[in-house]
Amino acid sequence: MSIIRRSDAELALAETARRVLPAGSLGNVDVATVIREGRGGRVWDASGNEYIDFLLGSGPMLVGHAHPEVVAAVQEQLPRGTTFFANNEPAILLAAEIVDAVACAQKVRFVSSGTEADLYAMRLARAFRRRDKILKFEGGYHGMSDYGLMSLWPKQVGNFPQAAPDSAGIPAGVRSEMLVCAFNDLEMAENLIREYHDELAGVIVEPMQRLIPPQPGFLQGLREITREYDIPLIFDEVVTGFRLAYGGAQAYYGVVPDLCSLGKVIGGGFPLAAIAGREDIMAHLDRAAVGDERFMPQIGTLSGNPVAAVAGLATLQILKRPGAYERIFATGQAIRDGLAGSLRDAGFEVAVPGEPPMFDVVFAPGRISNYRDTVGGDAALAKRFNALLRERGIFKSESKLYISLAHDEADISHTVEAFASAARELAA
């Protein structure tokens, strides 16, 4: 059922990429596909092949590619200037919208990437607590900083709470400043926090870790134990912010952290992220409020960029409309059910962890509750299945499907048919 044909022009672009880019890519997904354009819930490659897009730029395009209202907002801003390195109206208004929407957000500071947001959130916790160690959860993704790349995707799992670097070039000393716990294991987390409470600066967690939802009581328990010791609880909401609900995962799951990081959706497809949280912690970004010794500088050339801010504001206004999240969840549930049903009908034992706005298949029986459960899946089978889907016009990463407000009934129908066809070929 292959529909993908590569033109000479796209093959030439891919060859140029191999010549000028490390590994021939931008470091993200399949180097063989060169995307030319996107509209709504679909993208087209340089050969003209059309795909239903479940990558969505790794999540930012929640309302779809080139949404007319987002494009109009950007076009209106461009003649007024593209960056100022100073306060500007769009950034101020976007910060106000975030404060109104996100429960933990009393103050907001903009950066340009989720990696920066997570790095600064951890640094803020250290400045506030005057401690060094951060507790994270194995398999949790907190950007590409040295600290974020500890025990993100360890190929050989070790003993908790020892952290393992997942990249070359990380100083050896970083390992001693990170503690690692199993996600969804509240007893382990409580024991580690009690043992190390006087050394801990903060606890950082994806409230939904990659695609693994929190088990009942897990986030609530983290909130209680961190509050007991006045240890900042940081929710990494770069992915979940404004995706699971307008107020993010903290609204969806009903647990309010002290700090959170935001990204992806709030930039509307442009480079923008933020740290938001309690005023007394965020005060460390204000020299006049805390003095020289406790001041934490944060400077970024494009932080609060007005073009990104107007794109983010337009995106949030679309998401605020009645029925937006109901539609995203209904679309996601239909596609998720089709994915699970097709593979099980073909005889595969699978789990489909996640929530309707984002999920994927793991070729393993049983419930997926932590990183080690995902490692037990058949990665080679998943890779083959993803390749078969690509041949059928389904564009996704190796580990996630993102659902867009722009995906429609035709997209659902095509996708479910592609799942069934790919599952049958996979089983043959």
Q: Supply the angle between the helices 306-319 and 68-77 in degrees, to the nearest 10.
A: 150
pLDDT for the residue 31: 65
Nearest residue to 65 via CA among 310, 266, 294, 315: 315
Q: Report how far residue 270's alpha carbon sits from residue 273's, in angstroms, rounded to the nearest whole number.
A: 9
Structure tokens at 361: 């298949």
Nearest residue to 59 via CA among 396, 419, 415, 411: 396
Catalytic residue among 45, 120, 133, 141: 141
Nearest residue to 138 via CA among 110, 198, 168, 178: 178
CA triple 115-121-125, angle to 5 deg = 150
Give all domains of the chain, ordered by start, each with its CATH number: 8-66+323-427 (3.90.1150.10), 68-319 (3.40.640.10)
CA triple 248-252-254, angle to 5 deg = 110
H-run or E-run covering 226: helix 218-228
Measured over the CA atoms of residue 183, residue 185, residue 186 and residue 187, the dihedral's sign is negative
pLDDT for the residue 158: 72
Q: Report how far residue 182's alpha carbon sits from residue 388's, in angstroms, rounded to the nearest whole number.
A: 33
Q: Report how far residue 242's alpha carbon sits from residue 273's, in angstroms, rounded to the nearest whole number.
A: 12
This prediction's pTM: 0.96
The yes-or-no answer on residue 236 being catalytic is yes
pLDDT for the residue 159: 83
The verdict on whether omega for the bond into residue 161 sits within 30 degrees of 0, i.e. cis, is: yes
If phi > 0 it is left, if psi is from -120 to 50 it is alpha, else beta; for residue 376 that is alpha
Structure tokens at 237: 């909401």
Q: 3-class DSSP state for residue 62?
A: coil
pLDDT for the residue 279: 98
Catalytic residue among 264, 373, 402, 411: 264
The yes-or-no answer on residue 107 being catalytic is no
Structure tokens at 29: 């997904």
CA triple 297-246-181, angle to 5 deg = 60
CA triple 271-274-277, angle to 5 deg = 170
Give the residue carrying structure tokens 């509050």: 227
pLDDT for the residue 27: 86
| β-strands 394-395, 178-181 pairing | unpaired
H-run or E-run covering 134: strand 133-137
pLDDT for the residue 226: 98
pLDDT for the residue 2: 53
Give the residue carrying structure tokens 């592609």: 418
Residues of the chain with pLDDT below 70 are: 1-2, 31
Distances (CA, A) of 90 to 1, 37, 63, 232, 417: 47, 26, 19, 29, 43
Q: Report how far residue 284's alpha carbon sits from residue 214's, in angstroms, rounded to the nearest whole number.
A: 31
Q: What is the pLDDT of residues 207-249, one digit of tens each?
A: 999 999 999 999 999 999 999 999 999 999 999 999 999 999 9
Catalytic residue among 236, 258, 360, 411: 236
Q: What is the pLDDT of residues 367-398, one digit of tens each?
A: 899 999 998 889 999 999 999 999 999 999 98
Q: Report how far residue 351's alpha carbon sits from residue 361's, in angstroms, rounded to the nearest whole number.
A: 6
CB contact set of 239 (below 8 Å; sequence gap of 6+): 59, 206, 208, 263, 264, 358
